[in-house]
């Protein structure tokens, strides 16, 4: 099959198929007569696997490691679990950070509703930001 054929069957763009070929996620055969890359059903399965892994948040580097591990004949499942468990923890921390930021922003807007605009005077840049108070125990990142 050609790039276009395999892209259609895997429901991705031909550019993505070419990119995955370049970085070694799939390894098509070469047509000896014209040098074109030829793909088979195993490439389609691998492309579908890659797409599914990406929807779960795995990076291409992680997917490449998973595929490499799989090629050794041992199960990559423990690695897959560990990666996603770590990712869940990281995502939870980012969500908590974003919720804290959202709260600070909403508090600032509420605090600033009836404040007049200030004019910079050398010591002051923006009275709104300079007047904002928040919980001192909250770490700003």
Query: Is 70 in the same domain as 83?
Result: no
Q: Provide the residue range defining the domain that includes 112.
A: 79-131
Taking only the tens of pLDDT, the chain with its 141 residues reads 888 999 999 999 999 999 999 999 998 888 778 778 889 899 999 999 999 999 999 999 999 999 999 988 889 999 999 999 999 999 999 999 999 999 999 988 988 888 888 787 877 788 788 887 765 444 555
pTM confidence score: 0.69
pLDDT confidence of residue 35: 74
Q: Cβ(46)–Cβ(9) under 8 Å?
A: no
Query: Is 68 in the same domain as 17?
Result: yes
Q: Which of 36, 35, 39 is nearest to 20 (CA)?
A: 39
């Amino acid at each position: 099959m050609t790039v276009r054929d395999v892209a259609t069957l895997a429901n991705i763009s031909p550019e993505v198929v070419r990119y995955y070929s370049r970085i070694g996620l799939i390894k098509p055969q070469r047509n000896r007569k014209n040098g074109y890359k030829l793909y088979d059903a195993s490439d389609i399965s691998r492309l579908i696997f890659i797409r599914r892994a990406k929807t779960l948040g795995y990076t291409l580097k992680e997917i490449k490691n998973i595929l490499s591990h799989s090629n050794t004949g041992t199960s990559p499942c423990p690695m897959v679990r560990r990666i996603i468990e770590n990712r869940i923890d990281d995502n939870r921390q980012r969500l908590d950070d974003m919720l804290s930021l959202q709260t600070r922003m909403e508090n600032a807007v509420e605090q600033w509703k009836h404040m007049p605009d200030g004019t910079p005077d050398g010591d002051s840049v923006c009275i709104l930001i300079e007047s904002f108070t928040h919980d001192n125990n909250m770490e700003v990142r």
